[in-house]
Chain A
Amino acid sequence: MTVLVARLGRGAIELLRIFGHHATFFVDLIRACPAALRRPYLVVAQIHAIGNLSLVIIVASGLAVGFVLALQMYYALVTYGASESLGLIVNLSLTRELGPVVTALLFAGRAGTSLTAEIGLMKAGEQLAAMDMMAIDPKSRVLAPRFIGGIVSMPILAILFSAVGIMGAYVVAVLLIGVDAGNFWSIMQSGVDVKRDVGNGIVKSIVFGFICTFVALYQGYEAEATPEGVAHGTTRTVVIASLGVLMMDFVLTALMFSTP
Chain B
Amino acid sequence: MGKKSVETLVGIFVLLGMLGLVFLALKAANLGTFSSGDTYAVTAYFDNIGALKVRAPVRSAGVTVGRVASIRLDPKLYQGVVQLEIQRDVQFPTDSSFRILTSGLLGDQYVGVEPGAQEKMLAAGDQTKQTQSAVVLESLISQFLFNKAADAGATAAPAPAPAASGAKK
Residues of A within 8 A of B (CB): 41, 44-45, 47-48, 51-52, 55, 91, 95, 152-153, 155-157, 159-160, 162-164, 166, 185, 188-194, 197-198, 202
Contact = CB atoms under 8 A, between A and B. Distances in A.
B155 interface: no
A189 B10 contact: no
B13 A194 contact: no
B17 A155 contact: yes
A160 B29 contact: no
B78 interface: no
Contacts of B51: none
B28 A189 contact: yes
A52 B13 contact: yes
A193 B30 contact: yes
Given A163-B23, A189-B27, A189-B30, A156 B10 contact: no
B10 A192 contact: no
A191 B38 CA distance: 22
Interface string B21-59: 101110111111100000000000000000000010000
Given A52-B13, A155-B17, A160-B17, A44 B6 contact: yes
B29 A198 contact: yes
Contacts of B3: 41
Nearest to B15: A156
B10 A44 contact: yes
Contacts of B33: 189-190
Contacts of B13: 47-48, 51-52, 55, 153, 156
A163 B20 contact: yes
Contacts of B23: 163
Contacts of B20: 156, 159-160, 162-164
B9 interface: yes
A194 B9 CA distance: 28
Nearest to B16: A160
B24 A156 contact: no
Contacts of A48: 1, 6, 9-10, 13
Contact of B10 (A47, A190, A191, A193): A47
B14 interface: yes
Contact of B30 (A162, A194, A202): A194
Given A156-B20, A192-B30, A193-B29, 18 more contacts: A47-B13, A47-B14, A48-B6, A48-B10, A52-B10, A91-B28, A91-B29, A95-B24, A95-B28, A95-B29, A153-B13, A156-B16, A160-B17, A163-B20, A166-B24, A191-B30, A193-B55, A198-B25
Given A44-B6, A156-B14, A156-B17, A188 B24 contact: no
